[in-house]
Structure 1
Amino acid sequence: MTTVPFVTCDLLDDNPDKEIQTLIPSLDGKFFKSYGARKSFGGQIVTVKCFEDNSRVKELLATVGAGKVLVVDGGASMRCALMGDMIAESAVKHHWNGVIIYGCVRDVDALAELDLGVHALASIPQKSHRKGIGEVDIPLYFGSVGFNSGDYVYADNNGIVVSKEKLVDL
């Protein structure tokens, strides 16, 4: 199992002069949970926005992802999962560090065994419908944080932080 040598609390404490955003837990009950075997992960952000269609998620996680984290804005939908075990296995095979999904995942027992960081709002057994819809490399905003491709995200069980600068070597 690969672990990243950081704790998000320490990143904030050690970099008071840097502009770091912290994802704020929602008052409406939307909290991110960790589902992957990697409990801390980070890397350069690649963004995708899709609603109940994981076509772009599947496509991106089948490309080389060394040093990267896919951030998915699924519109907080609770009706279907945007990633399951097969897509997550592809992400591991292609060396992605992690995936953050503003939506749901499925196959959580299998995800817990994979060397991949996975944060999502919830789990649901229903798969998404693939229609080839979704936008890649666009600015995303959820949890009071802006996510832009090329910026850096760091996640652990304490939370999720975003920086325009690389804070640690991954």
Structure 2
Amino acid sequence: MLAKCAEVMGWSGIVINGCIRDVDEINRCEIGVRALATCPVRPIKSGGGQKHVPINIGGIWIQDGQWLYADGDGILVSTSQLSI
């Protein structure tokens, strides 16, 4: 559901510091989704999220306003928009 909502809102993609499920449905969306892994078990929701806060994924800090570029091999984090 989150990927479809993000697609409707015009997002380019989502990076999830955790597991996802419903991969077939996510792959039908027109946005990129990257996660640490997949898991068939429904998540235990512990409340809302936060916006505009630094996060650390795999030892890399991602700050608000940075640009993320992803392909099948990984994710690149940049402080400015790249001309690719």
Q: Give the TM-score range, shorter chain.
A: 0.7 to 0.9
5+ residue gaps, structure 1, are 1-85
Match of 1:88 in 2: 3
Q: 1:154, 1:106 → 2: CA distance?
A: 22
C-alpha root-mean-square deviation of aligned residues, in Å? 1.7
Q: 1:110, 1:121 → 2: CA distance?
A: 17
Q: 2:26, 2:50 → 1: CA distance?
A: 25
Work out which structure has the larger RCO, using CA pairs closer than 8 Å and 6 or more positions apart in sequence: 1
> Which residue identity does 2:69 align to in structure 1?
Y
Q: C-alpha displacement at 1:92, in angstroms?
A: 0.8
Query: Of the candidates 33, 36, 45, which is equivalent to residue 130 of structure 1?
Result: 45
Find out whether 1:117 has 2:32 as its counterpart: yes
Point out 4+ residue stretches in structure 1 off by more than 6 angstroms: none
Q: 1:137, 1:96 → 2: CA distance?
A: 16
Q: TM-score, normalised by structure 1?
A: 0.45
What fraction of aligned residue pairs are identical, expressed as a percent? 37
5+ residue gaps, structure 2, are none
* Structure exhibiting the larger radius of gyration computed from Cα positions: 1
Match of 1:151 in 2: 66
Q: 2:68, 2:12 → 1: CA distance?
A: 11
Match of 2:77 in 1: 162
Q: TM-score, normalised by structure 2?
A: 0.85
| Within-5 A mapping of 1:8-157 | 86-157=1-72
Q: 2:46, 2:72 → 1: CA distance?
A: 33
Q: C-alpha displacement at 1:105, in angstroms?
A: 0.7
User: Would you tell me which structure has more strand in proportion to its own residues?
Assistant: 2
Deviations 1:120-158 (A, max 9, x none): 111112222334343221111122311011111111122
